[in-house]
Amino acid sequence: MIQKIKKILSKKNKTKIICLTAYSKNFATEVDKFADITLVGDSLGSVLYNYETTRKVTLNNMIEHSKSVRMGIKKSLMVVDMPYKTYQNKKDALKNSIKVIKETKCDAIKLEGGNKIKDIIKHLVKNKIPVMGHLGLLPQSVRGKFKSKGKIKTEKKQLLKDSKLLEQLGVFAIVLECVETSTAKLITKSIKIPTIGIGSSVFCDGQVLVTDDLLGLNETNIRFVKKFANLKKNINQGLKRFKKEIISKKYPSKKFSY
């Protein structure tokens, strides 16, 4: 665990960090080949369960999917999102974090927020829980439409302040979500720990996307999502061929029968 985190820290200002999501063993096995960090994100709420908000994701949801993901990981750092209302106070945060790490064998957990949760992060780090931070757009806190952060002076100042605070508290990296380009660049230059961007420009130390999104499995019009493959097309072709061979009695042939 410690060595993997040190490896992530060593990439700062040297080489870009690749972070990808996974919610099952099969996906994790493939993601692990390319990722430095595999994130079991609470984004599984919308990706797998069609929830309108990540707030509906439970601790049990995260644990069960993370146990599956763990089986597919050999080299990358495995980080698990702590879901909404599982770290409201120091006592719950520590209890739930220990539960997640113990049951999933993950390497670290991720929390959303800055100054508002400073005492919680401090308490976790003090108790040797590896923490990844998350600033900018905070899906667990959003009510209504998602908006980018850091465009106005007050937001920029607060994000920079929170970034430095998280670094001081001992988090090993910070996800910057939908943070305005110049603000993301300033933050990345101002702290010694890596920043992982999602919709926050090329100036971050690394990038993360929901794997299902970049592979074209999800229909989304989110600005920062680029489709790098069209997996839906391949799936449809395979299923079409399957149906055709059954109807024509080509499958199952002797080769595929007992």
Burial of 166 per CB tally in 10 Å (0-12, 13-18, 19+)? buried
Q: DSSP letter string over 25-70? A: HHHHHHHTTT-SEEEE-TTHHHHHH--SSGGG--HHHHHHHHHHHH
CA dihedral in degrees (155, 221, 38, 116; nearest 10)? 20
The residues, ordered by sequence, that sit 6+ positions from 164 with a Cβ below 8 Å of its Cβ are: 190, 191
Number of C-beta neighbours around residue 226 at 10 A: 8
Whole-angstrom CA distances from 222 to 111, 172, 213 are: 22, 28, 10
Q: Pick the catalytic residue: 177, 180, 219, 245? A: 177
Dist. CA 173–CA 244, nearest whole Å: 50
Eight-state DSSP code of residue 149: B
What's the token pair of residue 158? 């607060």
Does the annotation count 177 as an active-site position? Answer: yes
Active site residues: 177
